[in-house]
Amino acid sequence: MVDPIKVYPSKPAKVYFYGTCLVDMFYPDAGIAGVELLEREGIEVLFPQNQTCCGQPAYTSGYHDEARSVAKAQLDLFPDDWPIVVPSGSCGGMMRKHYPALFKDTTDEVKAAGIAGRVWELTDFLLNVCHIKLEDLGEPTTVAMHTSCSARREMGVAEVGPKLLGQLKNVNLVEQIRPEECCGFGGTFAVRHPEISGAMVSEKVDTLVDTGAKEFVTTDCGCLMNIAGYAEKNQKPLEGQHILSFLWARTQGKGGQQS
């Protein structure tokens, strides 16, 4: 069976942008960079102002009724049949993979399934729907990359970030050992199991530092907050950016536009 996530639509005239809580509260630059990249590709970006949480924290903690209540508020935000792009494999995975099960046998089942089928992780959308071509105008640099568990396993986009970075001629991408291992964030996992989470992020930071890179990029703000926060607190020589912010900064608002 063909994975529906890999059946890409034609490039649309418009998209809905679902910003996520962490982008809204902590990393607005990543959201703005995502919008700028889409607009440079000739796509009109629609941003529903009433969007809130996707419901994932409650859902992964086992509170499905509460998660359904939060998620229900998102279902009427995307009335037209445009793709919904999400700058997070975590929130994208919740909406794409779990909304149908969350709303099964409810009056919103059909609506939720329709929403789920239009959700795309944003870097995947840029690469495989927009066929973006990037012109690197930055100075030579070396970076490592961390792909979140949800982006890797639920949205299936582990190869997308490296392909985008590979278009940047002055960027040397170095690979950490065990790149598939979790950073320990896991949403509420880090709160419920702080000792385990702390050990996981400590190891993740060490593997990134061992690459020799002073900077890493990631597709998810939760991982970014966890890894960069631990590195700063423990005075490790490592800084982080969301990959969208990194791509936009490297291309300085210029670059190829695909028709």
C-alpha dihedral (53, 56, 57, 62), degrees to nearest 10? 140
Domains of the chain: 12-128 (3.40.50), 141-251 (3.40.50.11810)
Closest by Cα among 249, 67, 217, 239 to 148: 217
Cα–Cα distance, 87 to 1 (Å, whole number): 27
**Ramachandran sector of residue 211 (left: φ over 0; alpha: ψ -120 to 50; beta: rest):** alpha
* R_g of the chain computed on alpha carbons: 18
Kindly state the tokens that stand for 19. 């910003």
Structure confidence at residue 40 (pLDDT): 97
Cα–Cα distance, 123 to 151 (Å, whole number): 10
Structure confidence at residue 249 (pLDDT): 96
Structure confidence at residue 253 (pLDDT): 52
Summarize pLDDT for 119-176 with one digit per residue, the tens: 999 999 999 999 999 999 999 999 999 999 999 999 999 999 999 999 999 999 999 9
Cα–Cα distance, 39 to 58 (Å, whole number): 33
Kindly state the tokens that stand for 13. 């005239």
C-alpha dihedral (112, 3, 7, 255), degrees to nearest 10? 100
Q: Across the chain, what does the average pLDDT equal?
A: 94
CA distances, 82 to each of 44, 47, 116, 117, 168 (Å): 11, 12, 12, 11, 29
CA distances, 147 to each of 89, 137, 218, 230 (Å): 9, 24, 6, 17
Q: Is the dihedral of CA 99, 100, 102, 107 positive or negative?
A: positive
Average pLDDT score over residue span 9-26: 97
Average pLDDT score over residue span 185-189: 87
pLDDT reading at 87 higher than 60: yes
pLDDT reading at 10 higher than 70: yes
Q: In percent, how much of the chain has pLDDT > 70?
A: 97
Average pLDDT score over residue span 58-79: 97
Structure confidence at residue 43 (pLDDT): 98
Structure confidence at residue 186 (pLDDT): 87
Kindly state the tokens that stand for 206. 């060490």
